[in-house]
A and B are shown apart, each in its own frame.
Chain A
Amino acid sequence: MLAYPFMQHAFAAGAIVAVLASVTGWFMVLRRETFAGHTLSVLSFPGASGAALAGLPLASGYFVFCALGGLAIAAGGRRNPQRQSAAIGVVGAAGFALGFLFLSLYGGVLESLESLLFGSFLGITGGQVWTLAAIAFAVLAYFAAVGRPLLFGSVDELVARTRGVPVRALHVSFLVVLGLAVGATAQITGVLLVFALLVAPAAAAQRLTPRVPLALALSLAIALAVTWGGLTLAYYTNRPVGFFVATLAFAVYLACRCWPKSSFATR
């Protein structure tokens, strides 16, 4: 299986995506911003179809739209949950509407629609792997730099604010970083299934342990196992990789839900 270059690329890209998604996802679940994460992943659909229409490389469309989406959602603020959820929903619907428009202007090839929405791992090139690695490096550098204040601000926003943590700036920058991570992940799993890697491993890890380093490591291990497992199963069964990734992630999450709650998750 690993003798083929396309499978090597898929495994390498899958590993990078697993690192990105699990770390970012852990903060996302902690900050209760799963809906924002889902909506940002949606924005990679107009990003990709818009880039195809404009004749640009698809990856650039993913990253630009997802990062802009992060800014748009951040503009909605974080205080009022009703207004925030409405704003996120509208951004998502607008994203789908734009993407559909771009696709129909482009001439709407259905095969590309399916792979945009549900992922394809056969077409990954060496160049894409390097782009992914660069993005992953930037995102991990962000977390290394602001991980502690971000954690503080996520766990207790009020106290963090009084202690001088720039909560607002962290909120905006986190959403942009989330957009970048999601844009990268969407290239492998497809727009609709990003969530499988973003939310399930992180939620499972938070269920298992309240200790931050251990939880991050667990989240990473689960994401990696799910990605590689999904790729392997897809290779041998010739069925869509998105299905296997989603199912494996769901199974892990269910198994961890049965585990006794850790103190972090009960918050």
Chain B
Amino acid sequence: MLAQEFVRNALIAGTPIALTSGAIGYFVVLRSQVFAGDALTHVAFTGAVAAAAIGIDLRFGLFAATVIVALLLAGVGDRARTDDVAIGVVFVWVLGLGVLLLDAAGGGSIAARTLFGSIFGLGTQATVLAAAIGLALLAALVVVARPLLFATLDPEVAAVRGVRVGLLGTVFLVLLALDAAEATQAVGALLLLGLIAAPAGAAHALTTRPYFALALSAGLALAATWLGVAVAYVFPTMPPSTAIVGAAVVFYAVAMTVGAVRRLPDGSRTPIA
């Protein structure tokens, strides 16, 4: 299986994408911003179609659209929190715009590719670039992890201690946007949420220790990606994006069951390890 170049490319690009999505997903769930993440991933679609309509590199459109909408969401939310009604209305309009552009570009294949991704379709150059961006995002996340955790768990105290809570919220949304644009190339704008929410939800169900959960979430996302690539390779009718997200959803279901079993009658949990 590894002798095939497209499988190697899928794993090389998929690994940093999975690690970043899993790690960022931990914060997304902790901050209850899954809906914002959902909106950003869908918006990536409009960006790609817009780039296709004016004839520039799709990746440029992806990154531009998600970052612009992330800044917009940070702007309408109050105090680094986002307002779900505003998110809904903004992103549905951006999607509507995407439909118009798709009609103008006249391309159904662009739609299928951006909406559902194609991790087996990455060329060598795209793979190297995707891996580099993924690693850079991961590094940036590691740098802000500690203050971000503080600002998320106790915004008031963090603000008193001199943490720039609002700025961190914006930085986080931008990182999420970059990750969404990056991962859209692999699993698609619609399925990406599975890679962000499912491993993180599983990690939250299994442990309350922040750094352990962060690592667990990244690890589960990575496992889902590798498993998904392998399954899609063995069963050619299975789209790789579905296999990856399917594996992540199975992990989540197992973790929820385990978490429910371990919960004590008073609602607290037996600590893991």
Interface residues of A (CB under 8 A from B): 29, 32, 34-35, 37-38, 81-83, 85-90, 92-94, 96-98, 100-101, 104-105, 108, 110-111, 113-114, 117-118, 192-193, 195-196, 199-200, 203, 239-240, 242-247, 249-250, 253
What distance in Å separates the Cβ of B126 from its nearest Cβ neighbour in chain A? 21
Closest to A42 in B: B190
Q: How far is the CA of A105 from the CA of B111 in the complex (A)?
A: 18
B29 touches A86 (CB 8 A): yes
A35 touches B84 (CB 8 A): yes
**Of A29, A87, A113, A195, the contact of B112 (CB 8 Å cutoff):** A113
Residue among B91, B108, B190 with the highest chain A CB neighbour number at 10 A: B190
What distance in Å separates the Cβ of B196 from its nearest Cβ neighbour in chain A? 7
Chain A residues with Cβ under 8 A from B37's Cβ?
89
Chain B residues with Cβ under 8 A from A87's Cβ?
201
B96 touches A86 (CB 8 A): no
Chain A residues with Cβ under 8 A from B92's Cβ?
192-193, 195-196, 199-200, 246, 249-250
What distance in Å separates the Cβ of A216 from its nearest Cβ neighbour in chain B? 17
Stretch at the interface among B10-18, B131-139, B236-244: B236-244
A86 touches B84 (CB 8 A): no
What distance in Å separates the Cβ of B80 from its nearest Cβ neighbour in chain A? 16
Interface majority SS (helix, strand, loop, mixed), chain A: helix
B205 touches A83 (CB 8 A): yes
Q: How far is the CA of A240 from the CA of B246 in the complex (A)?
A: 32
A246 touches B191 (CB 8 A): no
Interface residues of B (CB under 8 A from A): 29-30, 32-35, 37-38, 42, 84-85, 87-93, 95-97, 99-100, 102-103, 108-109, 111-112, 115-116, 188, 190-198, 200-201, 204-205, 237-239, 241-242, 245-246, 248-249, 252
What distance in Å separates the Cβ of A235 from its nearest Cβ neighbour in chain B? 15
The 9 closest A-B pairs by CB, nearest first: A246-B96, A93-B194, A89-B197, A86-B201, A110-B108, A250-B93, A243-B100, A89-B34, A195-B92
Interface majority SS (helix, strand, loop, mixed), chain B: helix
Can you list 12 contacts pairing A with B, beta carbon distance less than 8 Å?
A34-B87, A35-B38, A82-B204, A94-B194, A96-B245, A97-B246, A118-B102, A200-B88, A239-B103, A240-B102, A242-B96, A249-B92
Residue among A86, A113, A246 with the highest chain B CB neighbour number at 10 A: A86
What distance in Å separates the Cβ of A266 from its nearest Cβ neighbour in chain B? 11
What distance in Å separates the Cβ of B125 from its nearest Cβ neighbour in chain A? 26
Q: How far is the CA of A109 from the CA of B76 in the complex (A)?
A: 39
